Amino acid sequence: MVNCDWCNLSEEDKQFQVYESVLWTVFLSDEQDYIGRCILVLKRHCGSMAELTEDEWEELRRLVCKVETCLKTVMGATLCNWSCLMNSFYKDSDPSPHLHIHVRPRYDKPVMLHGNIYIDSEFGHHYALHKSGSIPAEDKEEVFTRLKEWLN
Amino acid sequence: MVNCDWCNLSEEDKQFQVYESVLWTVFLSDEQDYIGRCILVLKRHCGSMAELTEDEWEELRRLVCKVETCLKTVMGATLCNWSCLMNSFYKDSDPSPHLHIHVRPRYDKPVMLHGNIYIDSEFGHHYALHKSGSIPAEDKEEVFTRLKEWLN
């Protein structure tokens, strides 16, 4: 769709793409409030879960398995929180949502990267909404490489 | 599973069941922070999205379409927020999660029931985590009846 940012991702936007299947793309999120957090983006412009085709739904199943297993294996996640919200699009007077799904890995133990410690302080509870999602570039690069290598 | 509350729902727990398919059950949530909020519960004891069988996944697709259309039709929802979290189970030292999915209808206009007005103050933003979910019994009964009649 011409005016949709998600249909027209730049090479810079795609910098943290960790995986691509036929109908979906997976990116490491800009927000790393839960280390390893990713976003699954449908390649087609589609506004809701209810409008997914049979093929898109079937491929999503394989992707959910793959990404969840990856986050458990390479990051040590205990479980994953999945959500499909799309709220931000509705700030617009003429909303045109583009389907995407958030996955936040949750951890019962701290994760160490280059001497930095990432603690899931809310483990066992809903993910925090206003936790800082900014992490050092070398840690982001490390997570990106681990995920990309495992997934491909 | 013997010790799982979700595998052993009492008749009282099932009081607000709005729909039942072969592999899933849908309940109106106790929490009505977003009016019409429901919960989809898998009938089988299963711990994560990644472990759903092909049949469970396929039936989930039909259910997502049905429930989303229902909430838009009978409640006037603008969109739905879907989430599969399972965090609470992990407070236990030996967690045994039972798969369920939350659906929160979101509204760009107030909903009126028996003279009570329900406003989605956070529309366009993430759902609130600590909004009161308690509503008058007659309003809950009205929502329950509308959903149940449309879904069955």
Residue A1 pLDDT greater than 90, yes or no = no
pLDDT at B51: 94
Q: Could you tell me which chain B residue has the CA closest to the CA of A52?
A: B61
Partner residue opposite A49 with nearest CB, options B48, B54, B68: B68
Q: Which residues of A are less than 8 Å from B68 in CB distance?
A: 48-50
- Of B49, B59, B69, which to mutate for an interface test with A (greatest number of A Cβ within 10 Å)? B49
Q: Which residues of A are less than 8 Å from B108 in CB distance?
A: 90
- Residue-wise pLDDT for A92-150, tens only, equals 999 999 999 999 999 999 999 999 999 999 999 999 999 999 999 999 999 999 999 99
**B45: nearest Cα among B100, B102, B98:** B98
Q: Are A96 and A88 in contact (CB under 8 A)?
A: no
Q: Are A87 and B126 in contact (CB under 8 A)?
A: yes
The alpha helices in chain B, defined as continuous H runs, are 54-75, 137-151
Largest separation between any pair of C-alpha atoms in chain A:
46
On the 0-12 / 13-18 / 19+ scale of CB atoms within 10 A, A26 is buried
pLDDT at B45: 97
Q: Do B61 and A57 touch (CB under 8 A)?
A: yes
Q: How confident is the model at residue A35 (pLDDT cuts 50, 70, 90)?
A: very high
pLDDT at B8: 93
The alpha helices in chain A, defined as continuous H runs, are 54-75, 137-151
- Residue-wise pLDDT for A45-97, tens only, equals 999 999 999 999 999 999 999 999 999 999 999 999 999 999 999 999 999 99
Q: How confident is the model at residue A13 (pLDDT cuts 50, 70, 90)?
A: confident
Residues 6+ apart with CB under 8 A from B100: B6, B39, B40, B41, B42, B84, B86
Interface confidence: ipTM more than 0.95: yes
Cα-based distances in Å from A17 to A128, A143, B119, B122: 24, 12, 38, 31
pLDDT at A67: 98
Can you give the residue ranges of every domain in chain B? 13-120+130-144
Q: How confident is the model at residue A2 (pLDDT cuts 50, 70, 90)?
A: confident
CA A23 from chain centre, in angstroms, equals: 16
Partner residue opposite B79 with nearest CB, options A48, A91, A126: A48
pLDDT at A120: 98
Class for domain B13-120+130-144, per CATH?
Answer: alpha beta
Give the gap in angstroms from C-alpha A104 to the nearest C-alpha of chain B.
Answer: 9
pTM across the whole model: 0.97
A91 three-state secondary structure: helix
Classify residue B51 by its DSSP letter: G
Q: What is the dihedral of CA B26, B31, B32, B34, to 10 degrees?
A: -90
Q: Could you tell me which chain B residue has the CA closest to the CA of A126?
A: B87
Is A81 touching B (CB cutoff 8 A)?
A: yes
Q: Divide the 152 residues of chain B into consecutive groups of 10 and give the mean pLDDT of each group.
A: 88 94 97 98 95 96 97 98 96 94 98 96 97 95 98 98
Is A48 touching B (CB cutoff 8 A)?
A: yes
Is A130 touching B (CB cutoff 8 A)?
A: no
CA distance A59 to A121: 33
**For the domain A15-144, what is the CATH superfamily, name and number?**
HIT-like (3.30.428.10)
Amino acid at B10: S
Q: Are A87 and A97 in contact (CB under 8 A)?
A: no
Is A46 touching B (CB cutoff 8 A)?
A: no
